[in-house]
C-alpha cells in the first residue's frame, strides 16, 4: 500500500461550504492511528487530515510515532490556529513533515463567505509561521464561488514564497450543494495554471497539469481520464474518522449515497 490517508477526527472549527467529511465528532486515538500505519507498512508517506487535525490533542504524539517508523507525514490543516507543541516539534521530526494549509479565498470577505468564519488574516499569519518551520504548501479547492480568485490566491503564494496547489471541489458530502465549474471553466482554469506554472514553475501545482487519473473527478466534471488511479491497482487506502477502511475518501461516498 503506497498511498495511505487517515482522517483522524471528524471535528472542525470552520464550515467550508463544500466539505466532503461527515463532521460527527468521531476521533481516532493515537493507538488506533499507529495501528493503521503499522498495518500499511509499505506506505512511505502518511496523509493526515480531518476535520481539522490540529484539534486532535494527540496529534504531535501521532506525528512523532509515524516519523519514528521511518515514514513521512503530510498534514492538511486550515491553520486557523497552531498548537504550541506543533511549533515546538524537534527539528528531526519537522524535516519529515509537510504542512498543507487550506486557503480557498484571496480576501477576508470571500473567506468568510466560504468558511463561515473570520480567520483569513490569522491563516496568512499562521502560514508564515509554519513556512518557517516546515515544508509548507497552500491548497485551494475551486468552484463557482471562488473561480474568479484563482490568480489572486496564487499571488498570495508567490508573495509568501509557498507553493500553491489548485484543486477542484468534489461533489461529495456538502460538495453536492455547491455549483461546480463547467467543463469550459475547467479548460480555462487549466490554461491559467499552465501560464502561471511557466512563470512560477516551483510555486504552482494542480492535478489538472498532470495525467487525470481520478475517476471520481473525471466523472464529476466530464473529463477524459488519462491515467491510472492508485486505487485501481491496490496502491491507495483511506481510513475515515470512524475507522472505516475505504479505498478513497471520494469514491465510497459517491458510490453509496
pTM score, whole prediction: 0.94
Q: How far is CA 194 from CA 69, 112, 138, 198, in A?
A: 38, 29, 18, 6
Positive or negative, the CA dihedral 42, 43, 45, 48 is: negative
Q: What ranges in 161-244 are assigned the alpha helix state H? A: 183-199, 215-221
* Each residue's pLDDT expressed in tens, for the chain with a length of 257 residues: 478 999 999 999 999 999 999 999 999 999 999 999 999 999 999 999 999 999 999 999 999 999 999 999 999 999 999 999 999 999 999 999 999 999 999 999 999 999 999 999 999 999 999 999 999 999 999 999 999 999 999 999 999 999 999 999 999 999 999 999 999 999 999 999 999 999 999 999 999 998 788 888 888 898 888 888 877 777 788 999 999 988 888 865 443 33
Collapsing DSSP to helix, strand or coil, 256 comes out as helix
Query: What grid cell was written down for 204?
Result: 504552482
Residues 59, 135: Cα–Cα separation, whole Å:
17
- Partnered with residue 72 across adjacent β-strands are 45
Can you list the domains of the chain with their CATH numbers? 3-178+202-207+230-256 (3.20.20.70)
Query: What grid cell was written down for 250?
Result: 471520494
Residues 206, 197: Cα–Cα separation, whole Å:
10
Whole-number pLDDT of residue 247: 80
CB–CB of 87/129 below 8 Å? yes
Amino acid at each position: 500500500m503506497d498511498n495511505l490517508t487517515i482522517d483522524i477526527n471528524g471535528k472542525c472549527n470552520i464550515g467550508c461550504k463544500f466539505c466532503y467529511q461527515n463532521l460527527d465528532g468521531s476521533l481516532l486515538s493515537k493507538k488506533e492511528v499507529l495501528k493503521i500505519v503499522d498495518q500499511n507498512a509499505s506506505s512511505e508517506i502518511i496523509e493526515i487530515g480531518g476535520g481539522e487535525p490540529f484539534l486532535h490533542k494527540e496529534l504531535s504524539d501521532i506525528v512523532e510515532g509515524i516519523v519514528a517508523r521511518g515514514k513521512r507525514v503530510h498534514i492538511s490543516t486550515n491553520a486557523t490556529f497552531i498548537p504550541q507543541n506543533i511549533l515546538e516539534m524537534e527539528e528531526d521530526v519537522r524535516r519529515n513533515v509537510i504542512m498543507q494549509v487550506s486557503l480557498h479565498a484571496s480576501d477576508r470577505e470571500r473567506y468568510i463567505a466560504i468558511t463561515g468564519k473570520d480567520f483569513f488574516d490569522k491563516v496568512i499569519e499562521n502560514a508564515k509561521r509554519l513556512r518557517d518551520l516546515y515544508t509548507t504548501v497552500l491548497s485551494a479547492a475551486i468552484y463557482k464561488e471562488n473561480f474568479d480568485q484563482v490568480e489572486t490566491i496564487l499571488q498570495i503564494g508567490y508573495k509568501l514564497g509557498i507553493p500553491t496547489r489548485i484543486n477542484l471541489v468534489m461533489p461529495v458530502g456538502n460538495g453536492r450543494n455547491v455549483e461546480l465549474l463547467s467543463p469550459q471553466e475547467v479548460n480555462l482554469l487549466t490554461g491559467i495554471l499552465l501560464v502561471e506554472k511557466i512563470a512560477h514553475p516551483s510555486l504552482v501545482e494542480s492535478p489538472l497539469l498532470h495525467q487525470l487519473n481520478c475517476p471520481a473527478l473525471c466523472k464529476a466534471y466530464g473529463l477524459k481520464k488519462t491515467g491510472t488511479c492508485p486505487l485501481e491497482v491496490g496502491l491507495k487506502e483511506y481510513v475515515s474518522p470512524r475507522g472505516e477502511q475505504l479505498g478513497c475518501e471520494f469514491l465510497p461516498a459517491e458510490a453509496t449515497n
